[in-house]
A = this chain, B = another copy of it.
Amino acid sequence: MRNKNNDGCRDLSLRQTARFLKKHDNYIILTHASPDGDTLGSAFALYYGLKEIGKVACVICPDVIPEKYNYFARPTDHVQRNDATVIAVDVADKRLLGGLQDDFGDIVDLNIDHHISNVRFAKNLYLDADAAATAESMYELLSVMKVNINDVTAKALYTGIATDTGCFKYSNVTAKTHIITSQLYEYNINAPEINRIMFDTKSRKLLELERMVLDASEFHFDGRCILLPVTAEMQEKTGCSGTELEGIAVISRSVEGVVAGVTIKQTDDSEFKISLRTYPPLDASEICKKIGGGGHKGAAGASLTGNLDEVKAKVLGAVEEVMEEAYAGSGTRK
């Protein structure tokens, strides 16, 4: 159906992907590292789908699967690596396989993904970049395969869709996202409970970190900029690290009147990682470019060295410069 590209990666249509999955018997399904609800939900939905048609399959995750996904993530089969067909789900780049990259990075037979940035590392690729989540494609795939979907499969798929859309909030949501979700509601998915686990549960240590960060927060430029410092001491005291810190960036982009939300995360004695979220007329990438970083219009980042006060001054200087240009001429906002 689709033409072969000029690289070693063959594009498959949905039907070709379905046929591919029916053809083989033993599958290893890989998720990306730091697994989220979409890679896990898609992987387990595929696993349950393959089991329904008598295949042997296992799900391998480069990292420990967080306990909160236990409502759909369960022990899978044991599969010999040698005679297995290797499938990656929601993995845009083999580097995202983390610790599994060496073993599997170059032998992925089929990749099922929705990232427009997919680097085509697998032998075969089903890519629907219009899908809000890989789980959306997975639902369509299981439907085309006429595989029975059970309640647990539906929970896994719902989790994937809800994760990647911020519970239907983001700009990747389409009419199709809602149609597929309406079909998942035909199963016993207990969506409110999934959403509570995914969106309304905050660890006590993150709450404690938020308290400290808010205590140290600063407003600048008539409330148009909020600055949230996450020092090494705060991270140590609360035990919050890694992806847990992402909760702080959420604050930076949700305060009324703020057009520049700056999170300054200390990564070493005199090293800081800047995360910037902006709203029009500000351009985050423009601001971060001034301090040696880069990114997108609404979200960008940079790395700076110095002490916290020096780093604050550098970031605020860049914000001020771009703010002055952006508001030049609009006397009321200045």
A: which residues have CB within 8 A of B?
Answer: 167-171, 173-179, 181-183, 185-186, 191-192, 195-196, 199-204, 207, 210-211, 214-215, 217, 219, 223, 250-251, 253-257
Contacts and interface: CB of A to CB of B under 8 A. Distances in A.
A183 B191 contact: no
A246 B99 CA distance: 44
B204 A211 contact: no
Within the oligomer, what is the number of copies of this chain?
A: 2
Contacts of A179: 178-179, 182
6 contacts: A167-B169, A169-B196, A175-B186, A201-B255, A202-B256, A215-B215
Contact of A185 (B178, B182, B200, B207): B178
A178 B182 contact: yes
Nearest to A223: B204
Contacts of A177: 182
Contact of A211 (B178, B211, B223, B256): B211
A135 B98 CA distance: 46
B167 A167 contact: yes
A186 to B, nearest CB: 6
A211 B255 CA distance: 13
Nearest to A176: B182
Contacts of A176: 182
Given A207-B214, A211-B214, A255-B204, A192 B169 contact: yes
A256 B173 contact: no
A37 B296 CA distance: 31
A170 B257 CA distance: 28
A256 B210 contact: no
Contact of A182 (B182, B199, B253): B182
Contact of A192 (B170, B183, B192, B223): B170
B211 A215 contact: yes
Nearest 6 CB-CB pairs, A to B?
A178-B182, A175-B185, A211-B214, A169-B195, A175-B182, A171-B192
A170 B215 CA distance: 32
